[in-house]
């Protein structure tokens, strides 16, 4: 199982003795949503060159933003940006900074046409990054002395880690917009995300409030996400009840390991699979249905086992409305009794 696709729970599972690679981004292969029923939300068809490029005038610089690594001053509009995190890459292109990006890490795979390299955000190599002559580096974690190493070269670094809330995701997009000279477009992106998410939540209604669900991060062992996590908060917008909550312990950090017996006994009405891509475990709805004892689970009987787009489900960037839309669709089509 490729745990790089779990940015907000990889650190927790590592602490729980699961082989993990810390906060990164997502699998490099593209993922195709699938489920036991037709029609899932279509993924965005954006490309690296399709974003609007309205920019803040150069005179607006220098700007100072407060990232996870503290106050960061960018003295001039960055013309050569290196992104070492898939979510940051998506954020950069969404706000219109794509033409300024000269290199992205090996795990970034969206939008199409990005300048993908062998650079790593997990184990960044200062010398390799410097070869791209960056004027700004964006990453999700400060590994291998990234911040201090780039500071010696006079290059500012923004550390934009996995977020805990939707507001945190919005704030990162706005911050990246400010840092790159695209504050206005970043605000537009966030406003659009908020509007789309609100519309999908409203459309789903309240008829399914209290319906139980299971969010699968991995199988064998079975890890899930509770309501206290970023994912849990997203599903919580619809008023669903998370079966993982009752099994969570403080040491889990919101990502408990569940036994198959526990899951089968909990009888979730909807199952969301964030591990259906081959590189993430290949746990398709058909695989779930074939697990011993799982055929009795209401979600399996009612064809409410939803295979998510693993990349979208494990990032916290501008494609979040696609995840919310897929959750909303599953809820709308689920039997109410």
Q: Report the 10 Å Cβ neighbour count for 277.
A: 27
Burial class (CB in 10 A: 0-12, 13-18, 19+), 207: exposed
Q: How far apart are CA 303 and CA 95, in angstroms?
A: 38
Q: How far apart are CA 133 and CA 79, in angstroms?
A: 10
Quick one: pLDDT at residue 38?
A: 31
What's the pLDDT band for 57 if we cut at 50, 70, 90? low
The answer to whether residue 337 scores a pLDDT higher than 60 is: yes
What's the pLDDT band for 46 if we cut at 50, 70, 90? low
Q: Report the 10 Å Cβ neighbour count for 115.
A: 15
- Both tokens of 238, joined, read 């619809």
- Both tokens of 248, joined, read 């969570």
- The DSSP secondary-structure symbol of 40 reads -
Quick one: pLDDT at residue 4?
A: 35
Mean pLDDT value across residues 122-136: 98
Quick one: pLDDT at residue 279?
A: 79
Share of the chain above pLDDT 70, in %: 82
Q: How far apart are CA 200 and CA 327, in angstroms?
A: 9
The answer to whether residue 33 scores a pLDDT higher than 60 is: no
Q: How far apart are CA 289 and CA 283, in angstroms?
A: 10
Mean pLDDT value across residues 300-316: 94
Q: Tokens 């696609």: give the residue.
A: 322
Whether the CA torsion 84, 89, 95, 100 is positive or negative: it is positive
What's the pLDDT band for 293 if we cut at 50, 70, 90? very high
Mean pLDDT value across residues 73-94: 98
Alpha helices per DSSP H over the chain: 10-15, 86-94, 126-130, 146-151, 166-180, 183-204, 230-236, 260-266, 285-289, 298-301, 310-313, 320-333
Q: Which domains does the chain have, with CATH numbers?
A: 32-41+199-333 (3.40.50.1980), 58-193 (3.40.50.1980)
- Both tokens of 201, joined, read 């939540």
What's the pLDDT band for 280 if we cut at 50, 70, 90? confident
Paired with 258 in beta bridges are 222
Q: How far apart are CA 179 and CA 156, in angstroms?
A: 10
Pick from 30-39, 163-172, 189-198, 282-291: least confident: 30-39
Quick one: pLDDT at residue 281?
A: 87
Shortest CA distance to 21 belongs to which of 151, 165, 120?
A: 120
Shortest CA distance to 232 belongs to which of 215, 251, 257?
A: 215
Mean pLDDT rounded to a whole number for the chain: 86
Q: How far apart are CA 113 and CA 106, in angstroms?
A: 13
Q: For 103-119, what is each residue's pLDDT tens digit?
A: 999 999 999 999 999 99
Mean pLDDT value across residues 281-289: 95
Element (H, E) at 273: strand 270-273
The answer to whether residue 82 scores a pLDDT higher than 80 is: yes
- Considering the entire predicted model, what is its pTM? 0.84
Quick one: pLDDT at residue 69?
A: 97
Quick one: pLDDT at residue 113?
A: 96
Q: For 205-259, what is each residue's pLDDT tens digit?
A: 999 999 999 999 999 999 999 999 999 999 999 999 999 999 999 999 999 999 9
Question: How distant, in Å, are the alpha carbons of 23, 91, 118, 174, 277 from that of 186?
Answer: 24, 9, 28, 5, 30
Quick one: pLDDT at residue 28?
A: 39
The 3-class secondary structure across 208-260, one letter per residue, is CCCCEEEEEEECCCEEECCCCCHHHHHHHCCCCEECCHHHCCHHHCCCCEECH
Mean pLDDT value across residues 181-195: 98
Most distant CA pair in the chain, distance: 65
| Residue pair 320/195 in contact by the 8 Å Cβ criterion | no
The answer to whether residue 42 scores a pLDDT higher than 80 is: no
Whether the CA torsion 229, 310, 86, 144 is positive or negative: it is positive
């Amino acid at each position: 199982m490729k745990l790089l696709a779990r940015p907000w729970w990889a650190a927790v599972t590592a602490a729980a003795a699961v082989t993990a690679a810390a906060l990164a981004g997502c699998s490099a292969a593209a993922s195709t949503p699938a489920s036991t029923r037709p029609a899932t939300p279509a993924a965005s068809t954006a490309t690296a060159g399709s974003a609007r490029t309205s920019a803040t005038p150069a005179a607006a610089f220098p700007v100072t933003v407060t990232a996870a690594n503290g106050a960061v001053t960018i003295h001039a509009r960055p013309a050569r940006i290196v992104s070492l995190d898939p979510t940051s890459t998506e954020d950069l292109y969404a706000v219109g900074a794509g033409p300024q990006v000269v290199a992205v890490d090996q795990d970034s795979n969206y939008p199409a046409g990005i300048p993908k390299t062998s650079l790593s955000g997990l184990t960044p190599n200062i010398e390799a990054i410097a070869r791209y002559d960056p004027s700004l580096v964006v990453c999700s974690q400060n590994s291998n002395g990234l911040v201090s190493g780039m500071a010696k070269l006079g290059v500012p670094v923004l550390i934009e880690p996995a977020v805990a809330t939707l507001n945190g995701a919005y704030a990162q997009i706005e911050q990246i917009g400010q840092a790159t000279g695209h504050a206005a477009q970043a605000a537009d992106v966030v406003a659009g995300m908020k509007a789309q998410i609100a519309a999908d939540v409203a459309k789903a209604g309240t008829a399914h409030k209290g319906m139980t669900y299971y969010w699968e991060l991995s199988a064998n062992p079975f890890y899930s996400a509770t309501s206290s996590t970023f994912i849990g908060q997203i599903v919580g917008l619809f008023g669903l009840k998370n079966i993982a909550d009752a099994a969570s312990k403080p040491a889990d950090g919101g990502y408990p390991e569940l036994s198959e017996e526990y899951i089968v006994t909990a009888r979730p009405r909807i199952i969301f699979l964030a591990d259906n891509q081959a590189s993430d475990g290949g746990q398709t709805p058909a695989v779930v249905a074939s697990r011993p004892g799982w055929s009795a689970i209401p979600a399996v009987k009612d064809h409410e086992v939803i295979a998510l787009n693993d990349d979208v489900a494990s990032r916290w960037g501008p494609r979040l409305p696609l995840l919310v839309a897929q959750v909303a669709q599953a809820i709308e089509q689920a039997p109410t009794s």
